[in-house]
Structure 1
Amino acid sequence: MTRASIPPLLLQLQSADTLSAQAAALRSLKNETIGHDQRKEAWIRWGIIPVLANILAARQHTGKAAATTELNGGAKLRYPASEQDEACLQAVIILGSLAQGGAAFLSPIFSSGILSTLLSIISSPDCPSFFVLPILRTLNNIADRLPLQSHPQSSKDTRLADLLFSGEHIGFLARILGQDYGNHQDQAAIEISASLVGKLCVEETHKAVLAECGVLDALAVKVASFIVAQGFVFPGAEMHVQVTGALGILPPPAPPGAKLAPILRAITVIIEHSKWRAEHFLSSPGIITVFPRQVPEFAPTDIKKGPWGATYLSGSAVPRHAGASPLEHLLPPVPLSQNKSPANTPNFPPLGHHGTSHRRHSQSFPTPMSVYDNPSSEDEENPVVPWLLYIIRAESGMVRLMAARLVTVLFRLGLTKKSRASMLGYLLIPILIRMLDKDYEMTGDDGVQYGGLIPSTERLREEAPFVLATLVIDDLELQRHAVDGSVIKRLSQLLKETYNPVQEVVRPMWHAESEENMDEGSDSLPAECRMGPPGFSSVHCHVMRYRENILKALAALVPFKDEYRKAVCENGVVPYIIDSLKPCSDDQPADTSAPKNTATHGNPTPTLLAACGAARMLTRSVSVLRTSLIDAGVATPLFVLIKHPDIEVQIAATQVICNLALDFSPMKEAIISADILPTLCEHAHSPSTKLCIESLWALKHVAYNSTNDVKVKIIDGLGPGWIKQIITQDPTIALAKRGIDEDMDSNTSVGMSRANSAGEKVDLLNPMENASGRDEDMKMADSMPPSKMSLDMFLPDATRRRKLALHGDLDQTTQARQDDIAVQEQTFDLIRNIICGPGASEMIDHLFKEIGQDLVLDSLADKLRPRSIQLPSIQVPHRRESPAHRALNVPAEILVSVTYVIIHIAAGLPWHRQLLVSHRDLLRYLMGYFNHNHRDVRTNCVWVVINLTYQDDTSDREGCRERAFRLRAMGVMDRLASLEDDPDLDVRERTKTAQDMVNTLTHA
């Protein structure tokens, strides 16, 4: 574009000598551009964005005096009071109109920095009311049109979220959400603000900030307003509004036209994946006010009166609980669950009376119906849960789906009664399955403000599979309910339909000049005057998200049952899953009117991740892996994705390859021949601990039963120096620091637990149980003084804020410690598989040569070494007597891995066994673990004794006797005697073998 082509309207706007002339020019520009994408693009190239940015920036510096009427207690300003405000308002509306043009218009908007100015205006305490809705709508338009992460080189666009949820601007969200439902403008502002949170809040840091700055509490008050409007406030709640932590008054009821769906969505995205944020929501002032805590009462006969008038309780007084929530009576009874989740049920019940059940399952009478007994202390539940279940049954459309999503999150975080699984199976799953139907009708508007890009019915159908996936994951009973409802067949058909070409009726953009001339001229324009990539259409983005959620649902349904995985294959959906593993290419056609969604167009990053998850679940089946997945060519796209620029895709692809590398898999040789090992070794050095762990896990499977040349290639690829660094690290360093931190905090009592990483895969060749961890709740009083409805109450008090921040820090510390332990665990497991199988002795020698014989044995001994940490008394002043030292237990998973390595070295040549026995510390430290609480540690200790005293041939008899005498002198017979009555059968049987072998050698 040349300067001569600049229209007179822009020159008039730039040269306006009065604010009224400027405002008039902006109104003319607004009328000219709204609804005309060609004109919008031309105005972008003419430089309208910098002009609008200058107008808004001028108002930002001089606008404090414009709203004095509103600040001084006058009526809220609904219309501009000055020409400058009118000009700014028109600029905001024009910006929102430009954003409606699509993803291509977002690039100049972000490049100009105009959004920071916009947020500064609305974040200002003196922002007039007439600016609020236009600015929110503009932000909402941009949020709706953020492009999918489609190209391999592109990253997730969080620029708007980073601005919106920054410490500088986030306060206005709490202010808007904290205001009462007044007129229509206030109601719309509340709903759009909640919609922005629901659309943009995906990062963990943003969720934590929203909880700490008061947005979550403000949203909770909005939920309380709906509860008041529906008449579900607990009887007598008005008598408890002044208790600690309550609002001080009942919140005003929500008006009839208010939308609940965006409020529930915003709450859900903030609290998901965090039990602490969920508890923060359930204990917020709004929820406590309408659902006050029920305090146990005593019978009048238990209360005695003393001679001086004081009352006391009789010796036989028993507190009477208030009983079930009144909301329970609005829900129908459902059959009790007869199955337990596989996450909580072992494959085989323990022997003895502890494993017997007192209930007969072969009774002829029907299954007992659930009666809502008084919840025990460990099974308490917030009344929000039954209220949400009532909403699910009573409402429809997006309100129903968002209520289902929120109650699902609470259920997954363990904040519902255990008996809720049955109700969710009988009530919620059929509703979610029904939402998948094409003829499902949604009444009313969802209130989520999607900008009219896709119908609300399509948006609901898009999200229903995701809620279903979240609900049934890791729960065999709920998976059975869903499969009995033929959900696999429905989802399979829907996945196939997402590959039907979508021909959109889009008129091609007309330009006065040729495309070549425009492209040549645009290179010299500044970034705020250049159009960005066109991106995908709204319909195509909807189909991609739909495909992603369907894949997640299929993956969530089949992790435990082989028959479910076979059902997926029988429905002919495996080729479509493989097609979903193909990424978008860099040379996508710019013509958005061409048919899309076919396999040749590829998939954006979120869909790739979901497809990897579905493929990984199917690889858990031996038969499916050997037939359907091989026939569909699952390996080819995975070998491409493992080198994808996005690290999350690399991790997901590596997880699938990990299962393909199992010894029974016919794909193991393909992995080796495709030269994937160097890539896996390179990823093991990645700064991403998750990618390192998954790569080591895959290498561990490749190494098992492989030839020695493959094992040598793995060692060389990882590098002896890197292996030395990993195996010599102290696994208790982070735990030691954590021990000090816990003692410094007198209010914390948090158990350490290990993430169930092993449960993510089927490690059939190397079965190892996870160390059990305790999940202790934090006991901390919520001491929030009574307050009235004001903005101040939405900022959590010091105690609640500290609780959120503390658990955020602890979660990060715990995850870092778990990751460090997992890396070391997988490295020792890899070494274990390298030195076992055919040619094991040669690999032991090679390992000693490359890494160092003394270093290997010293590192093994160091992992078994007892540890303690000194706790200075000054750091624990709340205790009368502070112990000088605290024992630090080596993580059980490290002990299991290390003892397995010792077992295989002891299974090598006689001189390998002699090295173990002659080491100054190794066996001495091992003696302290014969009575460890983890069965695998105990079993492995006994196996070490067996292997050390096993006689290969007659030439090794004297060596065996010498080792047996050495073990006896260390007290091994006493250790073995203590295991004769071990609760584990395998430990007892191995103990008998070890005792016989030692006794035979030492008494011969």
Structure 2
Amino acid sequence: MTRAATPQIISEIREPESTASRIAALRLLKNDIVGHDQRKEGWIRGGIVPLLSQVLTGRRGAGKKSVIGEVNGDTKYSLGRKNGRTEEDEVCFQTIMVIDSFAQGGPPFIPPIVAGGIIPLLLSIMSSPDCHQSLLIVVLGTLNTIADRFPLYQPQSLSHAKHLSSLLYSQDHVKTLHRIINDSMSSPSSSTQESVALAANLIAKTCSEESHKAMLASMGVLDALATKLSTFVVAQGYVLPGAENHVMDSGTLKKLPPPAPSNARLAPILRAIAVIIENSKNCAEHFITSPAMVTVFPKVPEFSPNDVKKSPWGVTYFSGFAVPHQPTSNPIDAILPSVPAVQTKSLANFPPLGSQSSYGRQGNFFSPPLTYPEATASDEDESAVISWLFAVIRAESGLTRLVAAKLATILFRLGLAKQHRVPMFGYLLLPLLIRTFEKDYEVPEDIGFLEGELTSTTLRVKEEAPAVLASLVMDCRELQKHAAEGEAIPKLAQMLKESFNAIPETEKPMWNPEKKFAETSDSNPPELRLGPRGCSPLVHHKMKVREGVLRALAALSLFKEDYRRLVCDNGVVPYIIESLKPCDPVSLDSLDGNPNPTLLAACAVARSLTRSVSVLRTNLIDAGVATPMFTLIKFPDIDVQIAATSVMCNLALDFSPMKDAMIKANIIPILCEHSHSSNTRLRLESLWTLKHITYNTTNDVKIKIIETLEPGWLKQIICSDPGDPSMRRNMEDDMGGSSSFGIGTPNSAGEQVNILNPVDMTEGDTQSQEDHRMTDIIIPPKPSLDTFLTDQSRRRKLALNGDLDQTKQARRTDIHIQEQVIDLLRNVMCGVGAPEMIDYLFQEIGQSDLFNMLADKLRPKPLSSYNGKDSVSSNKTISSPPEILLAVTFVIIHIAAGLVRHRQLLVQHPSLLKLMMPLFNNPEWRIRVNCVWVVINLTDFHDEMERPGCRERAIKLKGLGVMDRLLSLENDPASDVKERTKVALHTMRGLLQ
């Protein structure tokens, strides 16, 4: 057909003779621009977006009925000939189809659409009570199309993506999402099922903020998705035997859900659930305990009902044939392939899922006060949804298999799976993931899985599978071993190299006779000009592959030296260094440089590899790892700053040859500036790095650090009480700036493991004996599935636990910041020139102030000061966290090892040593041995001239009860404590004779 005159179309849309003529003009416009980006550009510059916005704004809910018998070939949204739309609906329908066509033009067309106010109008139409089903589908489809284009031109698109999310996740629109998903339970029609898939896809693409996830959970969308998921369980025949006998139990649906219709799609539901519960134990528990999940997967009774008998007088008893069900399985497990059982040796290296695990400096034998309670290891019931997901993984393929694997991995990571699942993940899931890394891997196209997707199903699997593997093996040595034995590292290394291959130019830009359209005029309003060109879908795919592979390599090399060496032997270190190069925002459509998520993943690999002395001194130094770090530490994005600082924390260790280079590069002022940041994670990482720099360095560097940090600020941090509610900072500052990769949460605690702060050291690793990095992975206990709360109670519990978790997480971060400051002072006081530095700190901080601050950290606080109760009614006290006590005792050790006058000042303090006495019996052996070292240092002498002073101090210590404390440690279970106690007793007895 001939192209209609542009002015005529605009005139018919703006001032139509009739509604039918406007519909016709919109169809002509749509046909004119489909597949022609240059025409789209001309229409945008001609002011079509404000006009389309005006048409949508003028929509009325009621109108004259018309039977629209032809939809002009718009088969994308599955509309029939007799759709029953009003003429007003048809105007909206055609207008939105035009907007969808513009959005499919790519990133340049998204900013004018956003600037024209189109998104709130689309959401308003979606949530209107009279929105026709076909209109709802086209709105959801267009929103999906817009959301698909956001990642193609980050970081410029970030504000637009947040704009869509902030509008979508309001109460009214979340209620609409809930209604859309719920309506699918009563209608098996194709249009209803399509709207559900589109709504689920939209959630998966746009829900990234924790507040939005919490809203979806609290307002019932997560329960609605769980209900929809249960219909697939029913349709597949996986409802647990006997579930019909429990449908009237508390917390159930009161009836079995209907089976999902054949045209319903499982994968979008799985993906939406995975996005909502990722990194949130509370949301995951909310999902597992939803009425639908409890109905189809009820708790299997320990004994069969037929085994429970009743005596004539009414007392129940077990028959002689009663045998308890195997506690580690459910009926679905019987149809899954058997796998070798967990070996005891492996269990020793695997932290119990659902329990608190502490590593590194904190030790793993007790819990710090006021933190998550300890949970029994694997004693509680596990939902059968884990087994069902394994059945889905084995039965499905492509993206459906992958999202099922992702959901199973998330539940596993959050502690909602038993220990016996570890081999199942290793033998049944990991080989399937590793298979996707191979070059010849192909899967059939998953038609209709995600509308508007810009790459094939095979490419989608290849870009998402490495990230799933990374999350699965992150802190599990057994699964890392399975992955390494499955040749995951060489295959991932090859994928990383291929992500740098040049992309052949298959498309040439069309010739444009209208040169004026090729020039961007900044004077035009934003709705009349195109946005950034962005990158091509293939470039974005390669970047996602690069990011996922880097994450997987970081997770696999987290613990074992052999795996770090294997990563290096596969020749990927230069590619890792190249991945640390930021991209140029002006030229995104190339493989030069990397977006922020890839930078974060590359920092994660560097962080894991720098844990190895040999790798750091050879491969990484030769590749120049420090140079990009010096750039990234000043990067505008704060998450990248945090990630780079975390890498530099290892580069600053005493064995690293990069330590002097960091000092010469004038990094210290930057770290000191970041230590004052309002972002607690950046503050923590910066202080940690400064602590490592101060160890075993010259006094002038130490003085520079203290002066730049400011002694008054250091005193303020040490004097603060992280347990005091008045000192807790705004939760948004503590939780803000999280990323999709594991560097987005505080170092100290939380449900997401931070791969940039590894959990402990293993064979082949060496660190300074004065400084060890520490991360405690604290996960709240698993929910008891014995009883299920009512819906209202479940939502109240969800909100309460979320607030408590954030408060605990913030407190742990505050504690670790204070610990780093105290440790920094400790490192200032040790090494060559330590006495001079002790005098310097006495002068700058004040000798009396320093001792009083240390004493205050050792002094137990009344519990009433934290819970607000009257101190008369409660005499309970709470001690400082063990890491603070350990840090304080180290400082006392170094002062006690100073000059005679330093020792005398310490002994003369009225309360410091007295407050230290109870620590001789502290559960943490390192605190106990530190107390013994204080005694040794105070009583040690090198010549007879010092003996009288040492004897005087020994008498003082005896008066405090030190001899009795030492005698109680003679048979201490910790060998270091026992050996040091022998030395202390020998010295004390010699001085007291």
Q: 1:13–1:26: 8 Å Cα contact kept in structure 2? A: yes
2:932 corresponds to which residue?
A: 942
**Bigger shift: 160-169 or 95-104?**
160-169
Alignment partners' CA distance in 2, 1:771 and 1:975 = 30
Counting only pairs closer than 5 Å after superposition, residues 800-879 of structure 1 correspond to structure 2 as: 800-870=794-864
Does residue 655 of structure 2 align to residue 651 of structure 1?
A: no
Alignment partners' CA distance in 2, 1:711 and 1:617 = 28
Question: 1:1000 deviation in Å?
Answer: 1.3
Shift in alpha-carbon separation, 1:626–1:720, aligned structure 2, 3 A: same
1:28 corresponds to which residue?
A: 28
Give percent identity, aligned residues only.
Answer: 50
Alignment partners' CA distance in 2, 1:297 and 1:376 = 22
2:499 corresponds to which residue?
A: 498
Alignment partners' CA distance in 1, 2:267 and 2:19 = 41
Shift in alpha-carbon separation, 1:261–1:543, aligned structure 2, 3 A: same
Q: 1:149–1:155: 8 Å Cα contact kept in structure 2? A: no
Alignment partners' CA distance in 2, 1:452 and 1:276 = 31
Alignment partners' CA distance in 2, 1:737 and 1:219 = 36
1:696 corresponds to which residue?
A: 687
Alignment partners' CA distance in 2, 1:699 and 1:337 = 42
Q: 2:445–2:458: 8 Å Cα contact kept in structure 1? A: no
2:71 corresponds to which residue?
A: none
Question: 1:272 deviation in Å?
Answer: 1.4
Q: Secondary structure at the match of 1:441?
A: coil
Question: 1:531 deviation in Å?
Answer: 1.0
Shift in alpha-carbon separation, 1:924–1:873, aligned structure 2, 3 A: closer
Alignment partners' CA distance in 2, 1:96 and 1:641 = 38
Does residue 271 of structure 2 align to residue 265 of structure 1?
A: yes
Q: Secondary structure at the match of 2:173?
A: coil
Alignment partners' CA distance in 1, 2:672 and 2:776 = 27
Question: 1:451 deviation in Å?
Answer: 1.3
- Residue 337 of structure 2 aligns with an amino acid whose one-letter code is P
Counting only pairs closer than 5 Å after superposition, residues 11-410 of structure 1 correspond to structure 2 as: 11-59=11-59, 62-63=60-61, 79=83, 81-148=85-152, 150=154, 157-178=161-182, 179-180=184-185, 182-297=188-303, 303-307=309-313, 310-313=314-317, 320-321=324-325, 324-338=329-343, 339-340=346-347, 342=349, 344=351, 378-410=379-411
Shift in alpha-carbon separation, 1:24–1:516, aligned structure 2, 3 A: closer
Shift in alpha-carbon separation, 1:93–1:966, aligned structure 2, 3 A: same
Shift in alpha-carbon separation, 1:868–1:735, aligned structure 2, 3 A: farther
1:554 corresponds to which residue?
A: 553
Alignment partners' CA distance in 2, 1:900 and 1:252 = 64
2:372 corresponds to which residue?
A: none
Question: 1:956 deviation in Å?
Answer: 2.4
Alignment partners' CA distance in 2, 1:563 and 1:22 = 69
Alignment partners' CA distance in 2, 1:322 and 1:421 = 17
Shift in alpha-carbon separation, 1:215–1:517, aligned structure 2, 3 A: closer
Alignment partners' CA distance in 2, 1:281 and 1:552 = 27
1:360 corresponds to which residue?
A: none
**1:880-905 alpha-carbon deviations (Å, 9 max, x no partner):** x9952432221011101111111111
Alignment partners' CA distance in 1, 2:178 and 2:395 = 30
Q: 1:340–1:476: 8 Å Cα contact kept in structure 2? A: no
1:367 corresponds to which residue?
A: none
Alignment partners' CA distance in 1, 2:377 and 2:648 = 45
Query: RMSD across aligned C-alpha pairs, in angstroms?
Result: 3.2
Question: 1:253 deviation in Å?
Answer: 1.3
Q: 1:153–1:646: 8 Å Cα contact kept in structure 2? A: no
Shift in alpha-carbon separation, 1:376–1:311, aligned structure 2, 3 A: farther
2:666 corresponds to which residue?
A: 675
Shift in alpha-carbon separation, 1:162–1:66, aligned structure 2, 3 A: farther
Question: 1:869 deviation in Å?
Answer: 2.5
Alignment partners' CA distance in 2, 1:992 and 1:315 = 61
2:427 corresponds to which residue?
A: 426
1:526 corresponds to which residue?
A: 525
Q: 1:228–1:253: 8 Å Cα contact kept in structure 2? A: yes
Q: 2:558–2:758: 8 Å Cα contact kept in structure 1? A: no
Question: 1:295 deviation in Å?
Answer: 2.7
Alignment partners' CA distance in 2, 1:651 and 1:995 = 47
1:576 corresponds to which residue?
A: 575
Shift in alpha-carbon separation, 1:935–1:771, aligned structure 2, 3 A: farther
1:371 corresponds to which residue?
A: none
Alignment partners' CA distance in 1, 2:321 and 2:427 = 40
**1:113-172 alpha-carbon deviations (Å, 9 max, x no partner):** 221111011112332212111001100101110035655997694222222222231111
1:748 corresponds to which residue?
A: none
Alignment partners' CA distance in 2, 1:205 and 1:245 = 26
Q: Given the two structures, how large is their TM-score scaled by the length of structure 2? A: 0.88
Question: 1:735 deviation in Å?
Answer: 11
Q: 1:294–1:322: 8 Å Cα contact kept in structure 2? A: no
1:723 corresponds to which residue?
A: 714
- Which consecutive residues of structure 1, in runs of 5 or more, have no partner in the other structure? 70-74, 355-374, 739-751, 786-796
Q: 1:298–1:317: 8 Å Cα contact kept in structure 2? A: no
Alignment partners' CA distance in 2, 1:700 and 1:493 = 38
Counting only pairs closer than 5 Å after superposition, residues 445-456 of structure 1 correspond to structure 2 as: 445=446, 447-456=448-457
* Matched residues, number: 928
Alignment partners' CA distance in 1, 2:20 and 2:156 = 49
2:417 corresponds to which residue?
A: 416
2:877 corresponds to which residue?
A: 887
Alignment partners' CA distance in 2, 1:450 and 1:458 = 15
- Residue 887 of structure 1 aligns with an amino acid whose one-letter code is T
Shift in alpha-carbon separation, 1:148–1:517, aligned structure 2, 3 A: closer
**1:185-229 alpha-carbon deviations (Å, 9 max, x no partner):** 111111111111222222211211111111111111122111111
- Residue 31 of structure 1 aligns with an amino acid whose one-letter code is N
1:916 corresponds to which residue?
A: 906
Question: 1:770 deviation in Å?
Answer: 7.3
Alignment partners' CA distance in 2, 1:273 and 1:842 = 48
Q: 2:392–2:404: 8 Å Cα contact kept in structure 1? A: yes
Q: 1:105–1:532: 8 Å Cα contact kept in structure 2? A: yes
**Bigger shift: 569-578 or 932-941?**
932-941
Question: 1:523 deviation in Å?
Answer: 2.2
Shift in alpha-carbon separation, 1:774–1:447, aligned structure 2, 3 A: closer
Alignment partners' CA distance in 1, 2:794 and 2:617 = 53
Alignment partners' CA distance in 1, 2:693 and 2:156 = 28
Q: 2:938–2:950: 8 Å Cα contact kept in structure 1? A: yes
**1:448-469 alpha-carbon deviations (Å, 9 max, x no partner):** 3251411111101111111111
**1:442-493 alpha-carbon deviations (Å, 9 max, x no partner):** 1351643251411111101111111111111111111111111111111111
Shift in alpha-carbon separation, 1:398–1:998, aligned structure 2, 3 A: same
Question: 1:913 deviation in Å?
Answer: 0.9
Q: Secondary structure at the match of 2:863?
A: strand
Q: 1:141–1:451: 8 Å Cα contact kept in structure 2? A: yes
Does residue 979 of structure 2 align to residue 974 of structure 1?
A: no
1:484 corresponds to which residue?
A: 485
Q: 1:259–1:446: 8 Å Cα contact kept in structure 2? A: no
Q: 2:65–2:86: 8 Å Cα contact kept in structure 1? A: no
- Residue 328 of structure 1 aligns with an amino acid whose one-letter code is D
Q: 1:195–1:266: 8 Å Cα contact kept in structure 2? A: yes
Shift in alpha-carbon separation, 1:140–1:552, aligned structure 2, 3 A: same
Alignment partners' CA distance in 1, 2:866 and 2:908 = 38
Question: 1:761 deviation in Å?
Answer: 7.0
Shift in alpha-carbon separation, 1:63–1:708, aligned structure 2, 3 A: same
Alignment partners' CA distance in 2, 1:927 and 1:212 = 49
- Residue 410 of structure 2 aligns with an amino acid whose one-letter code is V
Does residue 696 of structure 2 align to residue 711 of structure 1?
A: no
Q: 2:66–2:87: 8 Å Cα contact kept in structure 1? A: no
Q: Given the two structures, how large is their TM-score scaled by the length of structure 1? A: 0.87
- Residue 810 of structure 1 aligns with an amino acid whose one-letter code is L
Alignment partners' CA distance in 2, 1:101 and 1:348 = 51
